[in-house]
């Protein structure tokens, strides 16, 4: 089993002080920076994209875990490669040609991630086993931070692990993750915990991250 990684989603950060928030959460022990890119079409919310994220390039102290919730993600692969993105994740529902998009992410030098909505069956993964480095199980309907964790994600995490068998991939869980459900997520097979409000909603980010890791 891989070492557990905590990926801090800056969606709940104070954007007035974005640089300071990024530094603070990394210093507090976050392993990755989770960047939720939303286009107002695939999800009802609009967040940020390359014009904002370019300010993190070469400055962010941790690898960039970019989660796109946008239509046609295949068109922006190069832009995210240029930002120094570590893992680029696309929503399966937004990809007409998933295998092509995943291989273009790898060809651009990044790790290829695929996320799925709560109602999406994980069985499609059987057909892209060799093209994926990271699977993101959404435990909320994407678009907003601060929503309640959907427990159906737990069975799905277990099924994703079964599908990949001994292959070495990361499985993340995203949405409503907090110290109360973190242990169940890890027991089911998640090795990346993504959290926005469970970290930025508390005054002490280090304690928040410790609580997630310790759970
Ligand atoms: C939801 C995003 C999540 C979100 C998590 O669409 O993909 O990454 O920021 O927020 P919390 O942890 O508050 O549910
Ligand atoms: Zn996310």
Question: pLDDT tens across 96-119, in order?
Answer: 999 999 999 999 999 999 999 999
Torsion (CA) 51, 85, 212, 185 in degrees, nearest 10: 120
24 Cβ contact partners less than 8 Å away, ≥ 6 residues apart: 205
The DSSP code for 39 is B
Q: For position 2, what pLDDT does the model report?
A: 87
Per-residue pLDDT of 144-160, as tens digits, reads 999 999 999 999 999 99
Whether the CB of 65 sits within 6 Å of ligand 1:
no
Q: In terms of C-beta density within 10 A (0-12 exposed, 13-18 middle, 19 or more buried), how is residue 14 classed?
A: exposed
Residue spans per domain, the chain: 5-214
Whether the CB of 174 sits within 6 Å of ligand 1:
yes
Tokens of 84: 């120094």
Report pTM: 0.98
Q: Residue 215 above 90 pLDDT?
A: no
Buried b (16+ CB within 10 A) or exposed e, 173-190: bbbbbbbebbebbbebbb
Chain centroid to CA 140: how far? 12
Helices (H), the chain: 18-27, 50-53, 77-82, 98-107, 152-164, 182-188, 197-200, 205-214
Shortest-distance atom of ligand 1 to CA 45? 6
Q: Residue 1 above 80 pLDDT?
A: no
C-beta neighbour count of 78 within 10 angstroms: 9
- Fold for the domain defined by 5-214: TIM Barrel (3.20.20)
The DSSP code for 54 is G
Contact 21, 55 (CB under 8 A): no
Whether the CB of 197 sits within 6 Å of ligand 1:
yes
């Amino acid at each position: 089993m891989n070492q557990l990684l905590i990926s801090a989603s800056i969606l709940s950060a104070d954007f007035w002080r974005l640089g300071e928030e990024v530094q603070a959460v990394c210093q507090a022990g976050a392993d990755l920076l989770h960047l939720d890119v939303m286009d107002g079409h695939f999800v009802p919310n609009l967040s940020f994209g390359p014009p904002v994220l370019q300010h993190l390039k070469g400055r962010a102290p941790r690898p960039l875990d970019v989660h796109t919730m946008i239509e046609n993600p295949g068109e922006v692969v190069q832009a995210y490669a240029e930002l120094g993105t570590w893992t680029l994740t696309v929503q399966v529902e937004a990809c007409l040609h998933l295998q092509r998009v995943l291989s273009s992410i790898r060809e651009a030098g990044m790790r290829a991630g695929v996320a799925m909505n709560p109602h999406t069956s994980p069985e499609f993964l059987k057909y892209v086993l060799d093209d994926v480095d990271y699977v993101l199980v959404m435990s909320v309907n994407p678009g907003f931070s601060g929503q309640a964790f959907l427990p159906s994600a737990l069975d799905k995490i277990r099924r994703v692990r079964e599908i990949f068998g001994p292959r070495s991939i990361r499985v993340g869980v995203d949405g409503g993750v907090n110290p109360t459900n973190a242990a169940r997520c890890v027991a089911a097979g998640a090795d990346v915990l993504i959290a926005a409000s469970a970290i930025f909603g508390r005054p002490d980010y280090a304690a928040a991250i410790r609580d997630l890791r310790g759970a």
